[in-house]
Structures are given as C-alpha cells and as structure tokens.
Amino acid sequence: MAGIKDVAAAAGVSVATVSRALNGHRSVSPDTRERVLEAVGRLGYRPNAVARSLRTDRTRTLGLVIGDVMNPYFTELARFVEEEARARGYSVIIGNADERPELQDHHIRTLLDRRIDGLLVSPADGRSPFAPGTRPPTPPVVLVDRWVPGLDVTVIRAEGASAVRDLVRHLRALGRRRIAVITGPPATTTARERVAAFREAIAAQGLHLPEAYVGEGDFRADSGRRVTEAFLDLPEPPEVVFATDNLMALGALDAIRSRGLRVPEDIGVAAFDDIPWFQHTDPPLTAVAQPVAELARAAVGALTDLIEGRAARSVTLSARLVVRRSCGERPAGPTPTNGPRRSA
Amino acid sequence: MAGIKDVAAAAGVSVATVSRALNGHRSVSPDTRERVLEAVGRLGYRPNAVARSLRTDRTRTLGLVIGDVMNPYFTELARFVEEEARARGYSVIIGNADERPELQDHHIRTLLDRRIDGLLVSPADGRSPFAPGTRPPTPPVVLVDRWVPGLDVTVIRAEGASAVRDLVRHLRALGRRRIAVITGPPATTTARERVAAFREAIAAQGLHLPEAYVGEGDFRADSGRRVTEAFLDLPEPPEVVFATDNLMALGALDAIRSRGLRVPEDIGVAAFDDIPWFQHTDPPLTAVAQPVAELARAAVGALTDLIEGRAARSVTLSARLVVRRSCGERPAGPTPTNGPRRSA
DNA sequence: ACCGCAGATGAAATCGATTACATGCGGGTC
DNA sequence: GACCCGCATGTAATCGATTTCATCTGCGGT
C-alpha cells in the first residue's frame, strides 16, 4: 500500500510538503500542491488514519453505546447519531450492550482503548458506566435518553411526564379507568421516571392504581407478554395496558390476542416510544413519541462541543402523545390535547 | 493518560519487558511479570490500540457495510455479526449505506482508511463496491446476502428459490391463483433472484403471471404501499401480494387496510425475510425466513479465515418457509412442506 | 577452567503520519 | 547595499506501542 513517502518521491518533494498540501496548509505553492495531488491520484494514495491518529491524538470517531440494537428506538437513535456525526466529520462506532452491564463495560473499555474522541452512552443500568479501573474517562462523555443519578455529565433526554399525563387524560376521556402499567428494569432511570410520571398522572385524574396493576418487565417483548398475562388473570383485569417500552407493548399485544381478546374493544394498549412499526400494527398503536432525530442531533452537538473545547449544557426535549386507535375510538369533536406539538 | 513508559518506570523494567509481559511472551520471569502486572493495575494502564495497530498492522476490527440499518433484517444481521466477531476477538464497525451507493462508497473508503482487517459487505447496488481509485482492496472481503455478479470474492448467502416454491405451492393449496409480487431495485442481486425464483415457481404450478402483477419497489415501506395500491386498482386485483422484502410487506399491509380490506380474507400477504415483528402483526405474516444467525456466523468465519491466512469458500445456506396466517387458514391435516427445516 | 547455550532483559529501530524548527531565497525598506 | 521578513520547503523529532538484535548471567558438560 502506497504511503506518504511514495507520494513524496513521486512528486519530488518531502513528506512534510505532501502532508501540508493534503491538509490544506497555506504556504504550499499552487504549483507544488498540484504536483502532489497528481501523485496522490496516480498512486491512489489514502492517508493511514491509524498513523494520523497516533500523531494527532484525535481519531475523529465517536463511540455510541446503546441498550439494545434490536430495539427500534435505539436503532433509529443510532442511525441519526451517525448521520449527524458524519455531517460534522466524525465516524461512529456502535456498541450494543444487549441490556447487559458487563457487555456495556466491555464496549466502553474497547472504545476507550481505541481512543475515540468522545462517548455517547445510554446506560444499561444505574451504575456508573465507568467501571473502577477506568480512571477519569479521558474523552468527553454525553448521556442520551437514560442517565445515571449521581453522575455529573451532560445529559440529552426527553421528558415524557407531560405526554404521559396527556395519555391518561386521553384514556379517561375514552371512558377507561382501570389502567395497568408494565415497567422496565428499575435500575434504569427511564423506567423509574416513566412509572413515576404514570402514577402522578393517574392520581391527577383521580384514578386509583392497585399494586397488582404494576408489573415489572425488562424492555423485551417476552416480559411484556408475561406481565400482561398476569394482568389478564386478575379477577378484575385492566381496561388498558400501558407498556413503558415498545418491545414490551408488542408482547402485550401478543398475550392479548392469544387469549382471543380484541384491541381496543376488549382491552386497550398504549406504549412509550413510538416507532415506525406502530403505524403498521393492527390496530395502529397509540404511543408517546420521543423526538429521536432531535435527541441524536443535540447529543452529537453537545459531544462535539465538548470535544472541541466548547461548553455543553444538558438538554431536555419533550415527548408528545401520538393518538392512534389501540385504546378505542376517539370521541367525536376536536380533542385539544393531542395535536402534533413541537418539542422544546 | 498512563503509557507503557510509565508502567515500565513504575515496575523498574524496560518498555520491552512490559510489552512482553502483557502479550504473554515466554521468557519473562514470573517475578517480573508479577511486578509489571501490579504496576499496570496500580496505574490503570490500558494499551493504546492506535499505537499498537500502527506497529502490528492489524486493528482486530472488521467493517460491516449494510444496505439499511433500519431494516430489521440487517439490524439482526449486524447484531449477530458483532456477536460472532467479538467471540473471535474482533470488533465491528458498522457502515449504514441507507441504500445509497455513494454513501456505501463513503463508508468503505473510511473503513479502509482505518485499516480494518477485513470487510463484510452487502452491496447496495450491482456495481463493484470498490470504486475506481480504491486499488486492490487490500483487506480480505466477504459479501453477505447480496453479491456482485462479476466479482470474484467469497459470498455467504441463502438461496430462497426452494422456499419460494414452497410458498407458491402453499398459496395454491389454499386456493389462491392470482399472485402479485413487489420486487426490489433490479440493481441488487437479491431482488433479481427473488423475482426469478417467483416466476419459476409460478410457472411450475401452472399459474400465470401478468406483467401488471409485477411491481417494482425499493426495499422501503412506502414503495410497498404505492405498488400495492396500483395492484388494488387493477380491474382484477391479485388474491395475494408477495413482497420480496419485509419493509415493503408492511407497506402492502397498510395499503390494504386503508382500503378497508381484510387480511387474509380479502387478500393475502406474504414476505421475503422473516423478522420477529411478523409474529406480532395482525395477522401474523407468512414469510420466507433466512437463517440470519448462521449467515452471520458463516460470514465472520470466512472473513477471519481469510484474514488469518486460511482459505474460505462461498457458502449458500437455505431459507425456509414459515407459514402463519396472512394468506389464509391452513387446510386441515398435516402440510408436509412447511415444517421447520434445517438449513444446509 | 572453559565453552556454549538458554533464559531474561534492555537499547534502539520501526510503523506512517504531523509538526516544530531550520534553511534558503526573493523582495521591500531605509 | 544591508537588513529583515515571510514564503516555500526540508530535516528530524514525535506519538506509543512491538520486535529485532545485542547483552548479560548462570549453569551444565567436558
């Protein structure tokens, strides 16, 4: 493979000049630059990013560690993160934690070893993702979506409380009062927040939430099914199941169907995290939608700010309720609470 | 950040010895090794992968370039590829081509610049993914799923022809004779193959395929909707729509529902590429399933073989038909053609 | 007592780029 | 005409590891 030396030889200049010509330095005569570029083209030379990184101590690479690639929410997040990073001249290496803390640690360690310039994490559990032994996480870190309580780093997330309030109000308006919730692993902030928001909203509507209506899942479809089955076995089953994650909502849907019940006639379903698929389920699912693209953009923006020495503040965007048909038909007339609303 | 020199100083040995101790060389006295390891632990030293790669000319990294991350088939493929690679001590960098050839080229270039040890590609179009200027693709390359006709590289894929035959036979057994197909971009081998297999299967069953029953999509949901709408507008609409990709199947489902038609009573739907979501749609979708995990394993296996100097042969696994309910109820009695079948 | 060999270690070259410093040269200023 | 400045370029140090080659030590064989 042709190296910078070959180019230098071919162009009859020194390696320093080649480097300067390629990095757009002033003080390289147009004539020389021309010759260098010609040689580069002729040899098909491409600079070795490894060598360059060693010298400059910058990899122009961001690490992104997410809870689960197979979760469409994260897939979408990853996609937008890469897009925004690319626009800013960075590559992204994705680490899939598969919701396993030790795998998350593995990826973070690997990414740090590769000297990525910055790290974006959506922590799988409540522990600091910087295991002991990982000294001051050298590169800047930004947390997305999920965060870690005592950890003082920039966090980019969406608040869902008001959308959850909207959801409960919407359900109430449809005449549904017995609402059950499937929570995520209590170790994640998102799970705790969503349940808290839900409890509050229930109380605000003057409704009651028996403990039997709170079931713990793990952000996977199977757990949604399991928990929903328990709900259906209750002497007084709920009228709506609210899953705090999209995969668990799917599981809920399965459990309900396998009992021969109909959605929304017999029981309603709602989910946190809206994903393209929800338009295609039958019935289309009512969900709380996070502004994923904006989250991704804000996160990459904050991270690159930190990398390039600027300050970065935490940002909280707002989620919104997307009403579809899985909780029952909307009563006639305009419903002021669920039009598309811009996030902050 | 602590470097190997600091460790050497702390342990009272030379950098060479530290390196040897860490890389498990023989001829390092147990005593010295001990001291080195202690110093490493105390300083929290982690070797700089960039420097190491520069010297050894190996990054222990694989590149994976796929058509579209948001397509669950590829997401799953990526997930298994990473898993298998990790088991073999490699990391994976994913490049999302978004079905755009120029973006694919961008990713391949970037990956080569980073001196990945090997490249896994599922080419977005029929062109060689090695644009002019990219001289002999230095690292070994393996194509997965999709391939490029004149290009002589190892290909790991699944043949769907027999499963498509099974599908058509199945449809026929359910009494459906007018079957339409939504194809992918003709530039991809997979699209061409699938249609060819379908035409053959139709002929083998003595059925007829009018050209109006062949619509071209682009592997995205929207195109599925558009093409299906055209089918439904036909004076004699098809009894079944076969989408040669999962996303387009979703689009088809939407188009059908928005006309108020029922699946499978009014019209059946089948898809190529089975994904977990298809169990949760209503009705669950009948699909041709590729052995994704096996494909991923075989691909990574072949690639690491090449990287480590061994030979690698192309492999063709076989897809199988998964019958669900989207094309009509199975007639009573055992249907021999659709039990779970192992791939080759 | 001497030779040779193996084991343990260190000094220094090396990978391919960037960049601080040095050099040479031409032109403007007084 | 001497001086200085800045442009264009080259020489060589540098980044942090691995690895070749050299050195040293001790021990067994004769």
The separation, in Å, between residue A35 CA and nucleotide C29 C1' comes to 35
Q: What is the pLDDT of residue B25?
A: 87
The separation, in Å, between residue A335 CA and nucleotide D14 C1' comes to 67
Give how far B81 is from chain A: nearest CA, Å. Answer: 12
Q: What is the pLDDT of residues A139-179, one digit of tens each?
A: 999 999 998 888 889 999 999 999 999 999 999 999 999 99
**Fold of the domain built from segment(s) A60-158+292-318:** Rossmann fold (3.40.50)
User: B4-47 and B161-290+321-338 share one CATH topology?
Assistant: no
Cross-chain CB nearest to B113 (options A47, A69, A133): A47
Contact (Cβ atoms closer than 8 angstroms) between residue B214 and residue B180: yes
Closest CA to B285 of B72, B98, B76, B81: B72
User: HSE (CB half, 13 Å, CA atoms) of A153?
Assistant: 28
Residue A137, phi then psi, degrees to nearest 5: -50, 95
CATH superfamily for B161-290+321-338 is Response regulator (3.40.50.2300)
Q: What is the pLDDT of residue B134?
A: 52
pLDDT < 70 positions in chain B: 129-137, 330-344
Tokens of A275: 């994903």
Residue B17 approaches strand C within 7 Å at CB: yes
Q: What is the pLDDT of residue A338?
A: 41
Q: Which nucleotide is nearest to A58 (CA to C1')?
A: D15
**Fold of the domain built from segment(s) A161-291+321-338:** Rossmann fold (3.40.50)
Residues in chain A closer than 8 A to B50 (CB atoms): 50, 53-54, 59, 114-115
Q: What is the pLDDT of residue B163?
A: 96
What count of other Cβ atoms lies within 10 Å of the Cβ of residue B69?
21
Contact (Cβ atoms closer than 8 angstroms) between residue B95 and residue B107: yes
More confident site: B332 or A304: A304
Q: What is the pLDDT of residues A27-76, one digit of tens each?
A: 889 999 999 999 999 999 999 999 999 999 999 999 999 999 999 999 99
CATH superfamily for B58-157+292-317 is Response regulator (3.40.50.2300)
Q: What is the pLDDT of residue B332?
A: 47
Distance CA B171, CA B165 (A): 10
CATH superfamily for B4-47 is lambda repressor-like DNA-binding domains (1.10.260.40)
What count of other Cβ atoms lies within 10 Å of the Cβ of residue A159?
16
Q: What is the pLDDT of residues B251-304, one digit of tens each?
A: 999 899 889 999 899 999 999 999 888 888 878 899 999 999 999 999 999 999
- Domains of chain A, residue spans: 4-47, 60-158+292-318, 161-291+321-338
Distance CA B50, CA A341 (A): 46
Q: What is the pLDDT of residue B328?
A: 86
Distance CA A115, CA B114 (A): 13
The alpha carbon of B336 is separated from its chain's Cα centroid by a whole number of angstroms, namely 29
Q: What is the pLDDT of residue A37?
A: 95
Q: What is the pLDDT of residue B343?
A: 39
Residues in chain A closer than 8 A to B69 (CB atoms): 75, 78-79
